[in-house]
Amino acid sequence: MAPLFTSDEIYTATGARPVHHAVGSVNSISIDSRELGPEALFVAIKGDRFDGHDFVATALENGAVAAMVSEGRAFRDRCIVVPDALAGLRDLARLARERCNGCIVGVTGSVGKTTTKEAIRIVFEAAGATHASIKSFNNHWGVPLMLARMPAATEFGVFELGMSAAGEIEPLSRLVRPNIALVTTIAPAHLEAFDGIEGIAAAKAEIFKGLEPDGTALLNADHDQIGLLVDAAHAAGVRNIVRYGFAAASDWHIESCVAEGNRSRASVRHGNDRFELVINAPGRHMVANGVAALAVASLAGIDPELAIAALARFGAPTGRGQQLLLGDPGKPLLLIDESYNANTASMTAALDVLAQTAAPGGRKVAILGDMLELGPNSAVLHAGLKNAVLASGAERIYLVGDEMGALADALGADRVQMHVRTTAELVDVIVDELAHGDAVMVKGSNGVRLAGIVDAIRARFQ
């Protein structure tokens, strides 16, 4: 099998200064000295908390064949010296993209990026050699790392592009050069960096600036900013625009959506064709993510029936709606893990899932954490969750974080069992309060660390 990169390719792509000790080919790229693949090149980037140059010796001792370091930081053999290590990683990413003739998809949006990326990955893997982003590696170092790892023989690739401020998606899109640029939805997120939701839409629309000639913009039509995205796509010279969603004018129109226990069944119309789609997750938002993958498959030339069969295996990833039945199968505890992220759109969607969920034999419990980075309107947006919480049918409500104080006030003391500042204050209370037969949803921004509550519930009831 051909190597990921030969040493000559690395030197040519990055303008690296030759090293004294010969470096052979590499078959993997890493920025973490603890996680090294076979024949790894360790790239010593400088992050917010750590400087990779401090771990070069460890990486080489752990088996890396070489380390790419910034000028002035080399101190031993097997160091490939470049002006800047992060720029060198981008150079390798650029080379990986240039040599790939496969269909490449870039995914962005306020909600559903990772889940939609995973749905597309599942479809692509059923059709051919696939490369995809892992976890949420979607920022200024995550995207080039994921792209640099892409083998030359890749037939299908899918990459997640994230941002926290304007101007961040465009360079990532120009690096990925997607054939299909997908925007999942626009919602209040990272509002502290924007004047309003229109600014968020404009920032997400930067993905169109890296779209390949004759590429396609694939847009969820179920939000108020769809017109702004269409205008931005046209302004970027995009000629092919495809819409999907529940909106009647969608090219991929979800005509019906029914929850069937932990699954969802949907009828989807595309032109004169109708498809029945089943996914292993409840919720209209999860169906929309699946339909996005179905549309991608069609655009990539994949048989829709092959895509539908693959999507039957698609479910919510960990922290993003994964449902777990814990304990005695006769009366389990149902845990809905939404602990990874939260904004008003995803919180409302999750509460809608809870509303449609029947407790196996006990109570419905909602554990909700702060939605972070919402700016000066945070209190209003948190309080605005009141109706969705009430409609969820949650019989016991626990709130975590300072921002959730606004929701606690809106709901009233008689409806909220506890409101605490930190997850640590709630863990022991929750595991003692819950019982087999309960259905409990845990939802909040990752920074609130509600995953600790999820882990504690799993440890007690599994």
Encoded amino acid at 374, one letter: L
Q: Which residues are annotated as a binding site for ATP?
A: 109-115
Run of H or E including 183 = strand 180-183
First to last CA, the chain: 43
The full length of the chain comes to 462
Residue 278 DSSP SS3: strand
Q: CA dihedral defined by 93, 99, 101, 103, rounded to 10 degrees?
A: 0
Encoded amino acid at 128, one letter: G
Q: Within 304-364, where are the H helices?
A: 304-311, 344-356
Encoded amino acid at 220, one letter: N
Residue 145: phi and psi, rounded to 5, are -65, -50
The Cβ of residue 198 has, within 10 Å, a number of other Cβ atoms equal to 13
Provide DSSP, 57-97.
Answer: HHHHHTT-SEEEEETT---STTEEEES-HHHHHHHHHHHHH
Burial (0-12, 13-18, 19+ Cβ within 10 Å), 1: exposed
Q: Which residues are annotated as a binding site?
A: 109-115
CA–CA gap between residue 262 and residue 414 (Å, rounded): 31
| Edge-to-edge strands, sheet with 439-443 | 322-326, 333-338, 439-443, 364-369, 396-400, 418-420
